[in-house]
Structure 1
Amino acid sequence: MKKALLYMAYTVAYGFWWFVSLLPFSALYALSDVLYLLMSHVIRYRHRVIWHNLTTSFPEKTEAELRKIERKFYHWFCDYIVETVKLMTISKQQIMKRMTFTGTEKIEQLLAEGRSIGVYLGHLGNWEWITSLPYWLTNGLCCQLYHPLENEYFDRLFKYVRERQGAYCIPMQESLRKIIALGKAGKPIIVGYISDQTPFWWNIHHWLEFLHHDTPVLTGAERIIRHTNQVFVYGDVKRIKRGHYNCEFKVIREDTKHAKPFEITEEYFREMEQSIRRQPEIYLWSHNRWKRTRAIFNDHFEYIDGKVHLQKGKDMIW
């Protein structure tokens, strides 16, 4: 019975998403404007988290400057929602006009040489539209890591939308095995890593300074990149105007196998901070990114043989 209800919900969600995605961008952005008023003035969606993140990340800015960033963030975030809905049916011509890439010549050269590439991205701009990269390349298989949803039907729905443009989704828990298998097949790949999320306590192996915060960071992408010697590339995303983005590929390191531990991760976050400071309103400030502190970590956890363990007598925290 539960499975039947989930399937019905999936069918309704698919149909609704498909129908709304058929609307022209003018109608979708009008919908976004209404959504902005609801989220910023009525619901005040995650206002406390957003304001706390902004004030602690930019202590040098005045309240008026921060309020302006907050308003622009809500506008962009609502645009991001309708733009992601549009991904269901957007044409190749439309998305290539609205999501452009620069620096692809170097990417093509590296792929032609048989080198695989790891592209670090963040929750900046419209990261879902980055899945249109296959339209811009002639070599290599474009892949992206993702967290499968517990609901198999909705997981299927989101996976379908993300793979429409030719990118291949790799479940996070299978990432290294699948990437190694693809490498053995002899075809170079380009893998997108969004690595600015907050790690679970047992995945914290490194801390760094990021936007004036002592920040725990994910290091899994670095381990994969170093293990497979992928070229380290940063995808610098800018919003050109409403509904138009550009991603500039910057080759940071070609030899990653010999990088020091956490060096790649630190370089990535330095690049990310520059991108955010340039255009702060298109970053995902609604995520409670700094909810885990080093003090709490040190009080509850310890490293044993390089792995995180809960200290004896301590209760697990989330």
Structure 2
Amino acid sequence: MARASEQPLWFPQHWPSWIGLALFWVATRLPWGVQRALGRALGTAVYYLLPIRRHVVHVNLRLCFPEKTERERRTLARAHYHSLALGLFETCNAWWTDAVALPRHRLIGREHLERAIALGHGVIVLTSHVTTLEICGRIMTENFKFGCLYRDPNNPVVAAAMRRQRERRMTIAVHFDDLKGLIRALRAGHAIWYAPDQGKRTKQTEILPFFGVPAITNTATSKLAEMTGAPVVPYFGRREPDGAYTLTILPPLESFPSADPAADAVRINQLIEQQIRLAPEQYLWVHKRFKARGPGYPEVY
């Protein structure tokens, strides 16, 4: 018998997912202030009633913010769940809302990406995994011709909806495991959203500090830049307390790549850390950033 993920999406076992998407579509018709309130309520409920990966979040915060008190970290964890839940509403707005109805935002440093794109060598748009990924990505596509790396969610209905939106709004979508496809896209001149902050063991990883804690770290950014000639332009988006969004594009990394891919990766980690500290609740702390580090490293989860 075919697995659920291989069966047609109109089969009954997928109906709950379709209903869930429909409810979120309806929610995007509500005023933005109401959606923010619903997101906060949903985040609180999940944190206390359905503690999905709550232990992972607390471990990550303890490792990355040892200077904070336990009470401060628990407050930050709750704020993270609010941010996660609001990210669901933001994702649906990113998929289904007209450009004129997108939330208030400001774009800083547009000229850095425009100049990099004009060079014609492609652009590695360096960023990180945050809860505002989808809404800020949609805002970017309204301002630039933009491609991305992607990974399908486990839910096939959500994966299909996400792919549809990628194909509609992005210049190209490359699977995160398709290194050759990524190189072709950059050489063809695409600006590609690229987040190297989630590590898994490959030939292009090393154990390097992230917030001072050893973590599997992607060192492939240097190789990509060297092989394609693409400049590396950092970009970060965050949600402001008043509900607006700030998207900041920084100048291309200077003297990059160097002769030391590990040093380059540490430099990127430090840049990401700086941005996380501006809005720490918005980073994706549910990810097991310090897992599977190998012999000599304790299992922290």
Name 1:48's counterpart in structure 2. 55
Structure 1's 203 and 84: CA in aligned 2 closer, same or farther, altered over 3 A? farther
Is residue 122 from structure 1 mapped to residue 128 from structure 2 by the alignment? yes
- Residue type at the aligned position of 1:190: A
Query: Which has the larger Rg?
Result: 1
Given the superposition, is the C-alpha separation of residues 66 and 173 from structure 1 closer, same or farther in structure 2, using an over 3 Å criterion?
closer
The residue identity in structure 2 corresponding to 1:230 is A
Aligned residue for 2:241?
241
- Alignment partners' CA distance in 2, 1:245 and 1:203: 37
Q: What is the letter of the counterpart of residue 157 of structure 1?
A: A
CA contact (8 A) 2:222 2:258 kept: no
> C-alpha offsets along residues 92-137 of structure 1, whole Å, 9 cap, x if unaligned?
1233x43432111122122223242111111234111232213223
Partners of 1:254 and 1:163 in 2: CA distance: 32
Runs (5+) with no aligned partner, structure 1: 298-318
Determine the structure 2 residue equivalent to 1:266.
Answer: 266
| Separation of aligned partners in 2, 1:204 and 1:177 | 16
CA contact (8 A) 2:204 2:220 kept: no
- In 2, the alpha carbon distance for the partners of 1:41 and 1:223 equals 44
Q: What CA distance in whole angstroms lies between the structure 2 residues aligned with 1:257 and 1:268? A: 11
Does the CA-based 8 Å contact 2:150-2:175 persist in structure 1? yes
User: How far apart are residue 4 of structure 1 and its match?
Assistant: 4.9
State the Cα deviation string for residues 4-62 of structure 1 (Å, max 9, x = none): 55333275565455344333323322321331231122223322111111112111112
How far apart are 1:179 and its partner, in Å?
A: 3.8
CA distance in 1: counterparts of 2:252 and 2:220, whole angstroms: 18
| Structure-1 residue corresponding to 2:80 | 73
2:10 paired residue among 7, 12, 21: 7
1:94 partnered with 2:101: yes
Kept in 2, the 8 Å contact 1:229–1:257? The answer is no
Could you tell me which residue of structure 1 aligns to residue 197 of structure 2?
Answer: 196
Q: Does 1:147 align with 2:151?
A: yes
* Shift in alpha-carbon separation, 1:26–1:211, aligned structure 2, 3 A: same
Is 1:58 paired with 2:62?
no
Higher strand proportion (structure 1 or 2): 1
- Which amino acid in 2 is paired with 1:110? A
Cα displacement (A) at 1:163: 4.2
Q: Percent identity?
A: 24
Alpha-carbon offset, residue 214 of structure 1: 0.7
Pairing 1:227–2:227 present: yes
CA RMSD of superposed structures (Å): 2.9
- State TM-score, norm by structure 2: 0.83
Instruction: Sort the Cα spacing of 1:71 and 1:172 in 2 relative to 1 into closer, same or farther, 3 A.
Output: closer
* SS at 2:87 equivalent: helix
**Distance in 2 of aligned mates of 1:118 and 1:178:** 10
**Is contact 1:98–1:243 with CA below 8 Å preserved after alignment?**
yes
Where 2:177 maps in the other structure, the secondary structure is helix
Q: Note closer, same or farther for the CA distance 1:173–1:202 as it changes in structure 2 (3 Å cut).
A: closer
Matched residues in 1 for 2:129 and 2:220: separation?
Answer: 17
Q: Which residue number in structure 1 is paired with residue 290 of structure 2? A: 290
Residue 87 of structure 1 and its aligned partner are, at CA, apart by 2.0
Q: Which of 6, 17, 28 is the equivalent residue of 1:21? A: 28
The equivalent residue for 2:211 is 211
Residue 35 to residue 150, structure 1, CA distance change in 2 (3 Å): closer
**Is 1:37 the counterpart of 2:44 in the alignment?**
yes
CA distance in 2, matches of 1:54, 1:118: 29
Moved more, 152-161 or 86-95: 152-161
Structure 2 Cα separation of the partners of residues 13 and 5 of structure 1 = 18
AA of the residue aligned to 1:49: V
| Secondary structure of 2:261 counterpart | coil
User: Structure 1-normalised TM-score?
Assistant: 0.79
Give deviations 1:200-245, integer Å, cap 9, x for gaps: x345631211113111112334322221011111113332225422
